[in-house]
């Protein structure tokens, strides 16, 4: 699964997981839409989910702070769909998100520095169109990496506060021993989320 933003590098991570299947949570959220729209892949990594969205007809804005991620994402994209792909090199602390029907953040938000997380969540909430959905993961406070100060960890209560203005369609808390990309088996505590921004009357 994920690797901390130290040694090994994110590029090593993209190569290591390049053959993994598309994340099931992404499939679950896209199947809730009657037709494709505009998606943001926030912390897109090597581009596996961006490619899946493109194959399904979505326009995708792929965002990552690593140029290697954006290069990989563009390279992996189906050539005939590249005109529907925009890449944005930006850090979570300063990113400006365009309007979107879907914001997908697979195993990426935990790598936002805690002091930047409130602004990032505000960006996500504002960028979503009414009826749009957020889907992604957050790490819980029992996660093995919880002592890493540059990462964000949350309690169930904090997740519920983040989602209080959303219609929660899926919220799964999991705590288990899990194989990681570079650090063997680690204690994993996380939340998988699908939440819809209400359509205001
Ligand atoms: C574990 S990878 C996940 C990649 C992909 N979404 C996936 O599911 O495999 C986390 C990604 O978040 C990006 N990232 C980490 N911290 C970031 C930050 N502060 N701003 C923007 N991107 C960041 C990394 O470059 C990396 O590509």
Positive/negative CA dihedral, 51, 131, 103, 191:
negative
In this prediction the pTM is 0.95
Q: Tell how far the Cα of 170 is from the centroid of ligand 1, in angstroms.
A: 22
Nearest CA to ligand 1 atom 8: 106
Residue 98: exposure state from Cβ atoms within 10 A (0-12, 13-18, ≥19): exposed
Nearest CA to ligand 1 atom 26: 45
CA 5 to chain CA mean position, Å: 15
Could you identify the residue written with the tokens 């288990």?
176
Q: Tell how far the Cα of 122 is from the centroid of ligand 1, in angstroms.
A: 18
Q: Tell how far the Cα of 139 is from the centroid of ligand 1, in angstroms.
A: 13
Residue-level pLDDT at 7: 60
Q: At residue 201, does pLDDT exceed 80?
A: no
Q: Name residues contacting ligand 1 (CB within 6 A).
A: 2, 5, 10, 17, 23, 43-45, 64-66, 69, 91-92, 106-108, 111-112
The DSSP output letter for 179 is E
Q: At residue 152, does pLDDT exceed 80?
A: yes
Q: At residue 61, does pLDDT exceed 80?
A: yes
Q: Tell how far the Cα of 201 is from the centroid of ligand 1, in angstroms.
A: 36
Which atom, in ligand 1's list, is nearest to the CA of 3? 1
Measure the CA–CA gap between 18 and 48, rounded to whole angstroms. 8
Nearest CA to ligand 1 atom 10: 108
Task: Report phi then psi at 190, rounded to 5.
Answer: -155, 170
Poorest-pLDDT segment among 19-28, 97-106, 173-182:
173-182
Q: At residue 171, does pLDDT exceed 90?
A: yes
Confidence of residue 182 (pLDDT cuts 50, 70, 90): confident
Which atom, in ligand 1's list, is nearest to the CA of 20? 9
Nearest CA to ligand 1 atom 12: 43
Q: What percent of the chain clears pLDDT 90, i.e. is strictly above it?
A: 92
Residue-level pLDDT at 183: 86
| Structural domains of the chain in order of their starting residue, each with its CATH number | 10-15+22-196 (3.40.50.150)
Q: Tell how far the Cα of 45 is from the centroid of ligand 1, in angstroms.
A: 5
Q: Tell how far the Cα of 24 is from the centroid of ligand 1, in angstroms.
A: 18
Q: DSSP for 40-98?
A: EEET-TTSHHHHHHHHTT-EEEEEES-HHHHHHHHHHS-GGGGGGEEEEE--TTT--PP
Q: At residue 3, does pLDDT exceed 90?
A: no
Confidence of residue 2 (pLDDT cuts 50, 70, 90): very low
Q: At residue 100, does pLDDT exceed 80?
A: yes
Poorest-pLDDT segment among 12-16, 157-161, 164-168, 180-184:
180-184
Measure the CA–CA gap between 183 and 176, rounded to whole angstroms. 15
């Amino acid at each position: 699964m994920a690797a901390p933003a130290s040694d090994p590098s994110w590029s090593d991570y993209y190569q290591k997981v390049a053959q993994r299947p598309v994340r099931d949570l992404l499939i679950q959220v896209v199947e809730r839409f009657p037709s494709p729209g505009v998606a943001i892949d926030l912390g897109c990594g090597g581009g596996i989910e961006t490619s899946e969205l493109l194959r399904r007809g979505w326009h995708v804005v792929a965002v990552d702070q690593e140029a290697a991620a954006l290069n990989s994402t563009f390279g992996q994209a189906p050539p005939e769909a590249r005109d529907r792909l925009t890449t944005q090199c930006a850090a979570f602390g300063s990113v400006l998100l365009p309007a979107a029907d879907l914001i997908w953040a697979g195993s990426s938000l935990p790598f936002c520095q805690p002091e930047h997380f409130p602004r990032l969540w505000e960006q996500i909430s504002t960028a979503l169109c009414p009826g749009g959905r957020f889907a992604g993961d957050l790490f819980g406070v029992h996660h093995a990496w919880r002592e890493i100060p540059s990462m964000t960890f949350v309690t169930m209560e904090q997740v519920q506060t983040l989602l209080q203005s959303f219609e929660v369609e899926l919220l799964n808390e999991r705590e288990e021993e899990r194989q990681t990309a570079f650090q063997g088996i680690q204690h994993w505590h996380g939340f998988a989320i699908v939440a819809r921004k209400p359509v205001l009357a």
